[in-house]
Structure 1
Amino acid sequence: MRRKTLLTLVTVFGLVASPVVASAGQSGGWEGTWATAEHEANEGFVPNWSLEGFANQTVRQVVRVSQGGPAIRIQLSNRYGSAPIAITGATIGRAGTGAAVSDLRPLTFNFKKSAVIPAGGQIASDAALLPVRPLESLTVTLYFAKPTGPVTYHGLGLATSYRAAGDHQNNLDGTAFTEKTESWYLLSGVQVLDPTPKRDVVVAFGDSITDGAGIAADTNDRYPDELAERVRGRFGVLNEGIGGNQVLTDTDFAGEAAVKRFKADVLDHPKVRTVIILEGINDIGMSEIEFPGVPPRPHVTPQQLIDGHRSLIRQARAKGLRVIGATLLPYKGALYYTERGEKVRDEVNNWIRTSGEYDAVVDWDKVMADPNDADLMNPAYDIGDRLHPNAAGYKAMAAAIDLGTL
C-alpha cells in the first residue's frame, strides 16, 4: 500500500528526486519546513568535522520542522565542495532521546539507495511517506562508505549531531553514535508536501542573531524558532542565518556576503512569500577593529550598508517577495563597539525606519534596548556579551513581529 501511495504522489506531484534542488515555480508541491545556510568547510566557532569529512562513518542529524505535511524529502548540498560526494545510504525518522530514532524510513534518490552530490551542486531525495506535525523533531541519518574529503556544512547549528564508525543508518537506539558536534553537514533543507499553490514560506535571513548564537544546544530558542511556535504550522519558517555573516564582505569563517548568497539561501526556496532581513552589525564592527585571520579594511560607511540593503531588496522584489527590514540591535559594550560604529548603526537604522524602501519594518533596536540607555541591550535580554540576545531576548524579538506584515 505504501509503495502504491508513493507512486500516486510521484505521478500527481512529480515527487521524484532531482539532481538540482528546484527553485520557486519549478518545485511542484514541495514547501520548506526547515533549512540552514551552508558555508565552506573550516575550523569555525565550535569544534566540527567539516574539514576531515567522513569515511565509512554514519552521521545522524536532528532538526525541528516548522510546518507539517503528509510526505517529506531532504536536500543535500555540496555547494562548496571541489569533488563529488557519494551518499551510500540514508534514512529519516522521528527523533528520540539523544541519537535514538523511531518510525524509521529509508530515503532514496531516483528510487536508488545511493546517490552522488556533484561538486558545487545539490540534490533532493524522493518523497518519504513520513507524515510530520508542526514543531516535530526529525532525525536524518547519512552513511558515507567512501571518504568524502571536506564537506559543506553549517557551523553554528546549536543542535547535537552524532557520528558512528561503520554503517548504522538503521540503528534505532542510537547507542552506536558515540561522537558529537553541534554543526550540520551537507543537510541544507527539509521539505514537506503541500498541494496548494499559495506562497506562504517566511525566510529569516541574517547573521549570528538570526542563527541563534547564545542559546543552549537543542533548545530551539532562536528567534525563527519562536516565530514558528507563534504560527504553529500555518506556514513554514526557514532560518538562513550564518554567525559572523556580513552584508558586503566574504569571510572564510562566516560565508559569502549576504548580497551574494541571497539567491541560493532565499530566492531558490519554493513558495517563499516573505523575507526578514537582519544584517549589518558585523560589517560595522569588523571594520572598526582587527580580527585574527580577517584582513583589515576601511571603515564601512552608512551609504555602503544602505546600498547593500537596497541590493537585497531589489533581488527579493524581482522574485515578487515581500521584504521586511529589521533595525540593528543595540551593541554598546560589545567587543567591536566604537562610537564611530554606533553613528553608522544609527544612520542605517534611521534609513530602515523612515525610507519606505522596505515593505514593513520590525524595530528590534527599540524592542531590545535598555530603558535607561538606548545604545545598550536590555540586560534582561543579553547573554552577557552586549551583542547577542538570550532565550528571553529571542522570544521578545519573535513577539515583536506583526504577523500581518508577513
Structure 2
Amino acid sequence: MILMAVIAVAEPVLASGTANLYIKKLAPDGTTIISEKTLNYKWLMDPGNIPVMGDGTTRYYHQGPVFIDDADEEKEQALRWNKVENTNIREKDMGALKGANLKNLCNLVGGMSPGDTIKIKASDGFNKTFAYKNVYDYSKREGPMVICWYKDGLYPDTGYTEGMRLVWFADTSSNPWGINAFGNWDWHEAADSEYWYYYRSGGESYPTTTGLSIQNICELTIYSVKQAGMSAIAPVCMFSADKASGNAPLTIKFTDLSANFPASWAWDFDNDGKIDSTAKNPSHTYNTPGIYSVKLTVSNAAGSDNGIKVDYIIVITEASNVSSQPKISGNAGKRSNWPIITPATISIVTTVVIISMGIIFFRMRRR
C-alpha cells in the first residue's frame, strides 16, 4: 500500500504598512490639542478629498552616503555633500509613487505658521522634526515633502510594506541622469543645519537624504509657536553656550533660550556685524585663539530683540592660561557686567603685593 501524504502549503503572509494616519496640531504649551484628524490611506486616494501627488509611473530617488575620505577636512566635506549629485542615487530608488503633499495634510488641522515645526512619527516610535519653511516654502529643486501611500502598484495593506513613507518629490535639474532625485546637496541648501541627517560609521559622518525618508508613518504632530487667534508678542532674547573657554580649535554648541516664541534667529559669533548662522541652536568652531563677543538677534511677527554677551568665548592655546567671566549687555535688565581677569591684571596685582610686602619689611627693620 502506498501512503500518500498531502502537505498543505500556506500562502505567505505579506507584512503590512501603516494604513491610518493621525494628525494633530498642538497649542504653544505643547500639550493642548487645537485640532486633530484620523485618516485612512483610502481617503487620501480620492482627489476630491485632497490633491494626489505623483502619477504612479514617475520614479523618485533619494541619495545615500558618499563614502569618500580626504586628509583635507574642507575638501572631504565637499566631496561627501556631493554637489554634482552623481553618486549613490540610482541605487536609492523609492519607486513609482503616489501620495499626499505634507503641506495639504497639515492644512486639514489648521496648517502651520512660520516658526512652527512638525514631528513625523513611525509606528516603531522613530521620528524626525522638520521646519515650517521646508514643508511650505520648498523650492522646485528639492520639491514637496510627500506622504506616499502607493508604490509600484502596491498599497500599505497589499504589499507596500514601508508605506506610508516620506519621500521628497524633487525635480530633475541637479543630477546628470535627469531623474527626479533628492540629493544631499539639495537638502544642504534647503534646510538649516540642525535638520541635516548623517549616517555615522567608524567615527565619521556622511550626509544622506535616505535617512530622512521615514517609513511606516502613523502620526503627524504640529507644534505651534502662536495660539490661533492670539496676537504675537515680541521675543525677549536669551541664549547660552555649552562651554565658554577651551583650546583652539574650540567647538561651541549655542542654545536659544528666548521667550515669546521667536520665528527667526541671526547669530554673530564674533560680533563683527556679519550673520554667521540662522539656525535656532547652532554649533560654531573657533579656530583662532582670542576673546570673542557673541550676538543673537531674534524676531517674530511682533518685533525683534537682541543680546550681546561681551567677551563670552575665550579660545586659548595649550600654553595659555587665561580666565575670565563674561560681560553681558543688551536691552533687558537681565544682563550684568563682570570684570575681566587677564595676565596683565594678575601681573599688576602681583607687583603691588610684592611692593607692599617690601615696605612692611623695611619698616620692621627700622624698628
If asked which structure has higher relative contact order (CA below 8 Å, sep 6+), I would say 1
Look at both structures and tell me which one has the larger radius of gyration over its CA atoms.
2
Same fold (TM over 0.5): no
Q: Normalised by the size of structure 2, how large is the TM-score?
A: 0.32
Q: Normalised by the size of structure 1, how large is the TM-score?
A: 0.30
Higher strand share: 2
